[in-house]
Amino acid sequence: MPTSTFDLTATRDEGYRFTIRFEGTEVAPLVTDEPPPLGKNQGPNPSRLLAAALVNCLAASLLFALTKKGVAVKGLSATAHVELGRNADKRLRIERVQVLVTPAVGADASAAAIDEAIEVFEDFCVVTQSVRAGLPVDVRVEPAIV
């Protein structure tokens, strides 16, 4: 049984542009789109959103782990390098995501505390650990006749 749930809705605006609404929140809608030739690149596409979710979750998880160890984080950035390729059926897939997380800590920070945080932070990242585990995705299609 899940400990919590949330819902979001993607509604097609035009072409391949969608507006994503995060139900039950005050979070502003997010516009997504595919790059040309399919779309007009008016927002991130799903592959970029997945990479953004990974890099954001890992950065936040490292921040959490460092703070929990008493390390004052003065700044933090993270970058993702995404490799796309085709599978055996010639379908485009994300083959690899390489993430670099760069925290800025004070000179007085404990090296042992930093090492301890780095050792465990990935375990706090909901998105990365879910992707690594190959989370199940149940899909149902219900055509509407209009």
Q: Which residue has the tokens 């990935």?
A: 122
| Alpha carbon distances (Å) from 28 to 6, 7, 22, 39, 90 | 15, 14, 8, 22, 36
Q: Measuring CA to CA, which residue among 23, 39, 22, 20 is closest to residue 31?
A: 20
| 45-135 has CATH 3.30.450.40 classification | no
Sequence spans of domains, the chain:
1-43, 45-135
Pairing state between β 30-32 and 8-14: unpaired
| Residues, the chain | 146
Q: What is the pLDDT of residues 91-127, one digit of tens each?
A: 999 999 999 999 999 999 999 999 999 999 999 999 9
The SS3 assignment for 6 reads coil
Question: Which amino acid does the sequence have at 10?
Answer: A
Here the tokens at position 118 are 């780095």
- Give pTM, 2 decimals: 0.92
The pLDDT tens digits for 9-57 are 999 999 999 999 999 999 999 999 999 999 999 999 999 999 999 999 9
